[in-house]
Amino acid sequence: MHPHPKTTPTQNELYPVLQYIRKHYYADRPKDYHRHHRDILRALTWPAAWLDKQALTITAEDYNRLLLKKLHQIKQHGDPNHYRAYFPKYLMKVLQDHCHHHKEALYQKLKHASYTIDWIARGIEQNNQHQQTGTLAAAHQLLHQKQRTTKKASNQMTLGL
């Protein structure tokens, strides 16, 4: 195995995936990318929340590999007419279908002794490696919460100057 770069709490683990999405799905629509950014993050963190509920942990490298593989398959085999209007929903559905369809295979891989040993070894080499699934699952929960609405300006008291 090749050495992995150290992970620090300030690094955005999903940055390579977000860059891939921006380049391949929103290259000609930067405003749509910014408008959809929160929903894209919600879709990208959904598998982590699902894995966390299954009591499965995955390394950051493998998580990003899984996401990039699905994104590459969408780009290669998907119909842009089906996902162009609202890509985050399409991505969410693809990721959910993948996780549900491959539940047993994911369980076997992530619970296998060799994966666990490798995961522990990586955790020793890299700070926060063990936090990947839990952190992304927590991020998914935050993104999933409805945004608090503020009172309309007409209902707020103002100071007369």
Give the Cα separation of 116 and 109 in Å (integer): 9
Give the Cα separation of 126 and 3 in Å (integer): 10
Q: Are 106 and 51 in contact (CB under 8 A)?
A: yes
* Per-residue pLDDT, 52: 87
pLDDT tens digits along 102-123: 888 887 877 754 454 555 555 5
* Per-residue pLDDT, 60: 83
CA separation (Å) from 71 to 44, 47, 101?
Answer: 10, 14, 17
Among 35-39, 121-125, 141-145, 148-152, the range of highest mean pLDDT: 35-39
Confidence label for 150 from pLDDT (cuts 50, 70 and 90): very low
Q: Which residue has the tokens 């503020």?
A: 150
Closest C-alpha among 143, 137, 144, 156 to residue 48: 137
